[in-house]
Amino acid sequence: QIFGDLGADVIKIEPPGGSPARRIGPFAGDRADDPDASLYWWAYNRNKRGITLDVASAEGRALLLRLVERADFVIESDNPGAMAALGLGYDDLAAVNPGLIYVSITPFGQDGPKASYADSDLVILAASGFIALTGDDDRPPVRVTVPQAYLHASADGAAGALIALWERHRSGRGQQIDVSAQQSMNLATFCSSLVAALGMSENRRLSGGYKYGDYLLRQVFACKDGHVAITFLFGNAMGPFTRRLMEWVHDEGFCDDATRDIDWIGYGELLMHSKVPHDDFEGLKATLESFTRTKTKDELLHAALTKRLLVAPVATIDEVVANDQLAARDYWREIDGVRYPGPFVKFAPQPIEYARPAPRVGEHNREVYVDELGLSDAQFAELQAKGIV
Amino acid sequence: MTDLPLSGVKVLDFTWVVAAPGASRVMADYGATVIRVETTKRIDTARTFGPFHTGEPGPEHSVLFQSMNAGKLGVTLDLSKPEARAVALDLVRWADIVMEAFSPGTVASFGLDYESLRKVKPDLIMLSTCIFGQSGPLSGFAGYGSLAAAISGFYFMTGWPDRPPAGPYNAYTDTVVPRFVLISLLAALDHRRRTGEGVYIDQSHIETALHFLAPAVLDYTVNGRGPVRMGNRHPQIAPHGVYPAAGDDRWVAIVCETDEQWRALCDVIGRPELADDDRFATNAARLAHQDELDAIISAWTAQRDPRDSEGLLQLRGVPASAVERGTDLWADLQLHHRGHFVRAPHATLGDILVEGTRFKLSRTPPRVARAGPTMGQDNQYVLAELLGYSEERIVELVAAGALE
């Protein structure tokens, strides 16, 4: 989809009957049995044409090779070795098209001790180290409710393919891009894979908060209409933001002069050296929350702008969709009356366009097989009759 | 020396922390020359974040900084000084790509905005990135990726239904954005190659990151329904959970997406009769009996090291993984096999560990030539060798405080 957004002619190839991704919810109108109603499918197959093909059959494979001859990129996410077993591995396809850039996205990479592992988004989140760091410390590690791991991996795959494309202008040759979702997702741990080697103690999950010495700094506070996230930190960079926040808390009568006047730049050092009584610190967090409870998300966001504070609403999806800033930047795009997240980036002079919605099952079969590959109507009908298309 | 894919591509990187340096890091791995410009007047926040080499905090000890900036040249410029801005303009003339992540409007105050720079270099590729983008009523919003994750919806849908949102770890959107910054820059290079035109890129972290919530956005825009926090449960699949394991704070993630996987799980946990139990025989039945289901699985996992559960279940094709903590990642043979851990020379710390590139090109693999630079490590090289400045001019710049 990233390539489609960038203007490439992308053909999504599905098995006859449609991709298993069409069974991933949520579904438009909760029509779980309708192969064209998966919103997951809609979300990640925009700007593509769609065809069906049984690539495991000899005729299907031959058709695929004809498409490969004209392709710059092939992107696949089958288990390591599965495409090669069908005669469709990188070496097979490079023999047909030496300039081909072949992107393989797998849970753990093409080889290695876990290469054949069964996977799921949650399993990759666990194996990457990400969820060990996410959630409340008195509950199990917790995922983001919307699948994430393959999105990181796919974006890495697109970047790798574009690097290979740049190289191909010089060498004329293609290559294989090997993406491991485990390793891609691991970026979201902020180098926690290195802490043991450095002899440091591991970070633990802290409800989105931070640990300063023995003290747990929260990041999420209740407010009048939900929750708000506050980067409540200290030191030269962050301390001034905290000072301005506490000045506001003071102005509204929620803390005394002494609290306002704490040295918020040096406060982190006091915490690191356990020089703040724990009751005082807990009291401080309670004071802050008693203040935020009197404000709405909107009031807090606008104060963040006018007073220069590190404060942001914990937005619900309806609030995200109604966000003034996104509207002002003309972010949202509609296709067939459905509103989608808009372009991932604003390019000038040539902006991203949303030209077409995700394809229906086999929507472009005739266009591709007859109009472009030049099959006769009879040949096309025969492929359909055999269930290859 | 074999040419790397991006050999000859010149990147002038004024960005900081993670979201954009993470992109230029990959360009350096694949051969681009990247000059990372910093100032000692306001040090990169990443330099203040652990983990730290030697275990001691310090601006040259941050592994996060070293990892995000491996392979780059380090230059310090105090852009509040006109002499430094003149150097910056010379660097722009040298560069193919300029990247910046200041608050919107800041580069204009330095005379380094795109309109000014394209006069100096008409085919320049320039990328500006910040939380909310360069325009609009909230463009001045200051914040890190944790706040961006809150305001774009990730926080609300991460956690437990009976608790306040927990939010994903740390500055989550900072880990979504670098891939797309890299994609934008590579696409712009291709555009310039085909058309000869420069490109201006306005990348809003939130606009990019919302693509990772697109199904939830569509659930709202199509069905009028917002997502809810549901712990580790899945609306369509059971079992789908993180289960307790033997040991302190040890866990194992297990998912059965098919009845076949469920039957295999029943065998592995020594409860084959459950496969045909009416409460669990189908996915729909399992979804309706999740509390019982989770209790049964937990009773088995709680007796075992999570890596043993992982191994036993994976042998039978059941998706499972120990929840890896930092120590486990360092012991993970798969990550070692992938070249995830790389040693690279650092100016003062010797050969140090950084994380490797996350994807591999088979014919032109990435190369990590050095760890991240110390502040100003390459001032002399860049000014004398790349820009051809005289020693006298460099001394003047030092005296003017431009190189701070």
Select from A131, A148, A154, A194 the residue whose CB has the most chain B CBs within 10 Å, as the one to mutate to test that interface: A194
Supply B167's token pair. Answer: 């939010």
**Taking residues B198-210, what's their average pLDDT?**
98
Over range B244-269, report the average pLDDT.
97
Quote the CA–CA distance of A338 and B213 in Å, as a whole number. 16
Is there a contact between A111 and B236 if contact means CB atoms under 8 Å apart? no
Q: How confident is the model at residue B2 (pLDDT cuts 50, 70, 90)?
A: low
Asked if B240 lies within 8 A of A120 by C-beta distance, the reply is yes
Rounded to an integer, the average pLDDT of B87-107 is 97
Structure tokens belonging to residue A220? 């999420």
**Percent of the residues in chain B that have a pLDDT greater than 70, as a whole number:** 100
Helix axes B306-315 and B259-268, enclosed angle (nearest 10): 130
pLDDT in tens, A231-287: 998 888 889 999 999 999 999 999 999 999 999 999 988 988 899 999 999 999 999
Q: How far is CA A121 from CA A126, A147, A152, in A?
A: 9, 6, 11
* Per-residue pLDDT at B175: 97
Q: Tell if the pTM clears 0.90, that is, is over it.
A: yes
> What whole-number distance in Å separates Cα of residue B129 and Cα of residue A344?
12
Any idea which residue has 């995700």 for tokens? A358
CB contact under 8 A, A164 and B5: yes
* pLDDT tens digits for range A352-374: 999 999 999 999 999 999 999 99
Region B69-79: mean pLDDT is: 98
Cα dihedral across residues B206, B212, B218, B220: positive or negative: negative
Query: If we measure between CA atoms, which residue out of A79, A389, A143, A342 comes closest to residue B218?
Result: A342
Residue B71, classified by CB atoms within 10 Å of its CB into exposed (0-12), middle (13-18) or buried (19+), is buried
State whether residue A211 is helix, strand or coil. Answer: strand
Interface check B326 vs A, CB under 8 A: yes
Helix (H) or strand (E) holding B98: strand B97-100
B146 Cβ contact partners less than 8 Å away, ≥ 6 residues apart: A208, A219, A229, A231, B167, B170, B171, B172
Residues of B in Cβ contact (< 8 Å) with A163: 5-6, 26, 30, 186, 361
Task: Please state the rounded mean pLDDT for residues B234-240.
Answer: 96
> What pLDDT, on the 0 to 100 scale, is given for residue B56?
83
Least confident of A189-198, B48-57, B151-160, B313-322: B48-57
| Residue A335: strand pairing partners | A338
For chain A, the straight-line distance linking the first and the last C-alpha, in angstroms and rounded, comes to 23
Give the pLDDT mean for B179-197. 97
The answer to whether B340 contacts chain A (CB < 8 Å) is yes
Chain A positions touching B372 (Cβ under 8 A) are none
In A, which residues are within 8 Å of B67 by CB distance? 191, 194
- Pull the structure tokens for residue B73: 């040249």
- B254 CB neighbours in chain A (<8 A) are 123
Query: Do residue A177 and residue B64 have CB atoms under 8 angstroms apart?
Result: no
**Mean predicted lDDT score pLDDT of chain B:** 96
What are the tokens at A373?
A: 């590959």
Q: Backbone phi, then psi, for A208, in 5-degree steps?
A: 75, 10
A323 CB-near residues (< 8 Å, 6+ apart): A315, B151
Task: Tell me the pLDDT tens digit for each residue of A12-55.
Answer: 999 999 999 999 999 999 999 999 999 999 999 999 999 999 99
Residue B172 has pLDDT above 90, yes or no: yes
CB-CB neighbors (< 8 A) of B368 in chain A: none
Catalytic: B267? no
Whether residue A26 has a cis bond before it, omega within 30° of 0? yes
Give the model's pLDDT for residue A298: 95
Tokens of B364: 């032109």
Average pLDDT, whole number, for chain A? Answer: 95
**Tell me: the pLDDT tens digits for A289-348?**
999 999 999 999 999 999 999 999 999 999 999 999 999 999 999 999 999 999 999 999
> Which amino acid does the sequence have at B78?
D
Question: Do the chains contact at A341 and B142, CB–CB below 8 Å?
Answer: no
Check if the beta carbon of residue B157 is closer than 8 Å to that of residue B232: no
Alpha carbon distance A245, A233 (integer Å): 11
Cα separation of A255 and B402, whole Å? 43
Q: How many other CB atoms are there within 10 angstroms of residue A19's CB atom? A: 18
Q: Which of B174, B308, B328, B378 is catalytic?
A: B174
Query: What's the CA gap between B215 and B234, in Å, rounded?
Result: 14
- Listed residue (A104, A100, A51) closest to A82, CA to CA: A104
* DSSP β-ladder status, B251-255 and B320-322: antiparallel
| Residue of A191, A271, A285, A298 to mutate, testing the B interface (most B Cβ within 10 Å of its Cβ) | A191
Helices and strands (H and E) in chain B: how many: 17, 12
Mean pLDDT of A117-144: 96
Here the tokens at position B173 are 């959107």
B99 C-beta neighbours (distance < 10 Å), count: 28
Phi, psi of B52 (to 5 degrees): -115, 140
Instruction: Quote the minimal CA–CA distance from B400 to chain A in Å.
Output: 24
Integer Cα distance of B286 and B256 in angstroms: 10
Q: Looking at the predicted structure, is the pLDDT value of residue B344 above 70?
A: yes
Mean pLDDT of B23-37: 98
- Do B361 and A320 lie within an 8 Å CB cutoff? no
Our measurement of the distance from residue B217's CA atom to the centroid of its chain's CA atoms, rounded to an integer in Å, reads 23
User: What is the predicted pLDDT for the residue at B1?
Assistant: 45
Question: Contact A317/B219, CB-based, under 8 Å?
Answer: yes
